[in-house]
Chain A
Amino acid sequence: MTDSIAVEARHVVKAFGQGETAVRALDDVSVNIRTGEFFTLLGPSGCGKTTLLRLIAGFEMPSGGTILLEGADITTLPPNKRPVNTVFQSYALFPHLTVAQNVGFGLQMLGRPKAEVAATTARMLALVKLEALANRKTSQLSGGQQQRVALARALAPAPKVLLLDEPLSALDLKLRKEMQIELKRLQLETGITFIFVTHDQEEALTMSDRIGVMSAGKLQQVGTPKEIYNNPVNRFVASFIGESNFLPATREGDRYRLDCGATLAAPAAKSARVTLTVRPEQVRLAPVGEADAIPATITNLVYFGTDTHCHLSLSDGTEVVARLQSPATGDAGWGLGQAVALRFVPEAIQVLED
């Protein structure tokens, strides 16, 4: 992977509607997407991730800001003049054409010689393992097969960037897992920059080189899956990516006092009033009486197979969830209503100043 920039968005704004009723789908978004990386735009529906994708594809024009492709300004170019292709959520395969004609469509529109179109189509069909179905109508294909045709069709013209708009959301769980691996393989084999839009955080964490988390038209955080998961910059990112415990606390010197009275050590902060976050798998339980632990009561135990979610209540009523690995034999010996001592792995505590 090189460090050159494939797509750059500079202060991009997109407003729908006019005057006072205008909605800012994108509110001053700037991001650099590197050449050859698998970049995911992650966020809840309505956060603006698909709008950003459509702006890069050229289906919409931004209300403000600039979009660059490999350094060249493409902000006002129509979609057919951009070397960028899209895999649509609905696949949007042409129902009157065969699988092979669908895959060859882009090259045909570009006016490439017939022999080249045929050769590239065959190569793309082989890439997505659909050689046998070349002459079928797309309506005769299963959802997973249609997905592969859509991928082959978008990859055939060898775009500089491939845009994927929630392409896996229509597939069932098993097929989705297969396609995740397949997508990653295709990306590595072709070396094309992928920009992938999803609301599924697990999909984002497993596939991406980097993730951009979006909410309310703003880019909240950009980073590798590990950075996003371990060092969320705000409460939204911490709660959207995985589960988190949120503990209001007051700074006292270099320690923090929780509202239940217990104090603990955590990285320094500027504000006096902060929120500490800890992932449920970083919460440890111990018998009562252990020093430097927070007293809590078990309110619920939910068994998940590989682990058990233990819901705890602190003395001031704050809820904390601990994810405990299920032991090999028997149960861990915790019971409802039991008083326990709670500890956080110190390095796992994040301080949010909000």
Chain B
Amino acid sequence: MATKGFVISRLPGFNPIAGLVFAGLYLPIIILVIYSFNAGRSVASWEGFSLQWYTVAWENDAVKAATVRSLYLAASAAVISTFLATLAALGTTRRKAFGGQTFIYVMINQPLMVPEVVSAVALLIFFAMIKQATGYAGMGYLIAAHSAFCIPFAYLPIRARLEGMDMTLETAASDLYASTWQAFRFVTLPLLLPGIFAGMMLAFVTSLDDVVITVFVKSAGQDTLPTYMLGQIRRQVTAEINAISTVLLALTVLLLTLFVLLTRKKD
């Protein structure tokens, strides 16, 4: 019998371990989704299929307000952070290597390194000072905070796209009489767009999902969907939470699928 080469999937226990890992990752989510269709109040015992919790959530004004606020916040943060991340990515890739380059990368990606709760406390104190000085208590603080921690999520795919782009293309554009602005507008930007959209989606999903910084920074009556859910769970657990989570999950999966499609390498 011919000896076969080393194939990791043929090792004893490969399939059970893989199965266990996937079960650990997805079983809780699957259960959550299933119980969002439960006819009873409980999130633990099945009493038949129903869409009632979706109706309840849909008719709950607090949920509606939180959803609108979440989407508004995520959209604002995604646009602002993507704009800044695009500038940062252009600034760090479209020039000769410079001393302290790694330091700049670390600085831009600070939200990924610093524990979120530290940023949250820092922002709380910082914004309290501004609040005292100006009296302003609107959504601006949340938008600013979310924009800041979304920057690295938008920056990374944009930078990856720029680094994968042949710099000769921009040289060729300038050789063909394009000014710096025209070269950016007609060559760099169109080629960069998939990266920009991917970054924006990642930023959007990250903002939509945030709890820690939001809880610290938000003023009264500024609940987002995640902080609202957190508040609800403290009082009573109903399958309404499952229904909201399922919708949130569906939205995230949709956006991340788009992200994968956009960043996938063609040819």
Contact A88 B172 (CB under 8 A): yes
Contact B174 A78 (CB under 8 A): yes
Known contacts A79-B171, A109-B182, A139-B267; decide if A92 and B177 are in contact (CB<8 Å). Answer: no
Known contacts A95-B191, A96-B191, A109-B182; decide if A86 and B177 are in contact (CB<8 Å). Answer: no
Contacts of A109 in B (CB 8 A): 173, 176-179, 182, 186
Q: How far is the CA of A139 from the CA of B266 in the complex (A)?
A: 10
Known contacts A80-B179, A96-B191, A109-B182; decide if A90 and B174 are in contact (CB<8 Å). Answer: no
Q: How far is the CA of A157 from the CA of B173 in the complex (A)?
A: 13
Contact A92 B169 (CB under 8 A): yes
User: Is A229 positioned at the interface, with any CB of B under 8 Å from its CB?
Assistant: no
Contacts of B191 in A (CB 8 A): 95-96
User: Is B248 positioned at the interface, with any CB of A under 8 Å from its CB?
Assistant: no
User: Is A57 positioned at the interface, with any CB of B under 8 Å from its CB?
Assistant: yes
User: Is B175 positioned at the interface, with any CB of A under 8 Å from its CB?
Assistant: yes
Contacts of B61 in A (CB 8 A): none
User: Is A59 positioned at the interface, with any CB of B under 8 Å from its CB?
Assistant: yes
Contact flags B145-179 to A (C-beta < 8 A → 1, else 0): 00000000000000000000010110111111111
Known contacts A109-B177, A153-B176; decide if A59 and B171 are in contact (CB<8 Å). Answer: yes
Q: Which listed residue, B166, B168, B178, B187, touches A80 by the CB 8 Å rule?
A: B178
Known contacts A79-B171, A92-B171, A96-B191; decide if A105 and B166 are in contact (CB<8 Å). Answer: no
Give min CB distance, A114 to chain B, whole Å. Answer: 15
User: Is B190 positioned at the interface, with any CB of A under 8 Å from its CB?
Assistant: yes
User: Is A48 positioned at the interface, with any CB of B under 8 Å from its CB?
Assistant: no
Give min CB distance, B189 to chain A, whole Å. Answer: 10
Contacts of B177 in A (CB 8 A): 80, 106, 109-110, 157
Contacts of B168 in A (CB 8 A): 88, 90, 92
Q: Which listed residue, B175, B182, B186, B187, touches A79 by the CB 8 Å rule?
A: B175
Known contacts A92-B169, A109-B182; decide if A80 and B175 are in contact (CB<8 Å). Answer: yes
Give min CB distance, B133 to chain A, whole Å. Answer: 47
Give min CB distance, A44 to chain B, whole Å. Answer: 22
User: Is A85 positioned at the interface, with any CB of B under 8 Å from its CB?
Assistant: yes
- The 6 A-B pairs with the shortest beta carbon distances in the complex, nearest first, are A106-B176, A92-B172, A92-B168, A109-B177, A79-B174, A109-B178
Q: How far is the CA of A94 from the CA of B182 in the complex (A)?
A: 14
Contact flags A55-73 to B (C-beta < 8 A → 1, else 0): 0011100000000000000
Q: How far is the CA of A9 from the CA of B173 in the complex (A)?
A: 25
Contacts of B267 in A (CB 8 A): 139
Contact flags B102-113 to A (C-beta < 8 A → 1, else 0): 000000000000
Give min CB distance, A254 to chain B, whole Å. Answer: 55
Contact flags A129-163 to B (C-beta < 8 A → 1, else 0): 00000000001000000000000011001000000
Contacts of B182 in A (CB 8 A): 109
Give min CB distance, B210 to chain A, whole Å. Answer: 34
Q: How far is the CA of A215 from the CA of B186 in the complex (A)?
A: 39
Contacts of B171 in A (CB 8 A): 59, 79, 88, 92
Q: Which of B179-208 contact A (CB under 8 A)?
A: 179, 182, 186-187, 190-191
| Apart from A57-B175, A78-B174, 20 more pairs, CB < 8 Å | A79-B171, A79-B174, A80-B175, A80-B176, A80-B178, A86-B172, A88-B171, A88-B172, A92-B168, A92-B169, A92-B171, A92-B172, A105-B176, A105-B178, A109-B178, A110-B177, A139-B267, A154-B175, A157-B176, A157-B177
Contact A85 B175 (CB under 8 A): yes
Give min CB distance, B196 to chain A, whole Å. Answer: 14
Q: How far is the CA of A106 from the CA of B187 in the complex (A)?
A: 12
Q: How far is the CA of A157 from the CA of B177 in the complex (A)?
A: 9
Residue among B171, B177, B187 with the most chain A CB within 10 A? Answer: B177
Q: How far is the CA of A206 from the CA of B198 in the complex (A)?
A: 51
Give min CB distance, B209 to chain A, whole Å. Answer: 33
Give min CB distance, B188 to chain A, whole Å. Answer: 10
Q: Which of B213-267 contact A (CB under 8 A)?
A: 266-267
Q: How far is the CA of A95 from the CA of B190 in the complex (A)?
A: 10
Give min CB distance, A275 to chain B, whole Å. Answer: 42
Residue among A86, A92, A94 with the most chain B CB within 10 A? Answer: A92
Contacts of A110 in B (CB 8 A): 177
Residue among A78, A94, A139 with the most chain B CB within 10 A? Answer: A94
Contacts of A154 in B (CB 8 A): 175-176
Contact A105 B174 (CB under 8 A): no
Q: Which of B62-79 contact A (CB under 8 A)?
A: none
Residue among B174, B176, B182, B267 with the most chain A CB within 10 A? Answer: B176
Contacts of B179 in A (CB 8 A): 80, 109
Residue among A79, A86, A106, A157 with the most chain B CB within 10 A? Answer: A79
Contacts of A58 in B (CB 8 A): 175
Closest chain A residue, CB of each to CB of B176? A106
Closest chain B residue, CB of each to CB of A111? B177
Contacts of B166 in A (CB 8 A): 90, 92
Q: How far is the CA of A306 from the CA of B72 in the complex (A)?
A: 79
Known contacts A94-B169, A96-B191; decide if A86 and B178 are in contact (CB<8 Å). Answer: no
Give min CB distance, B177 to chain A, whole Å. Answer: 4
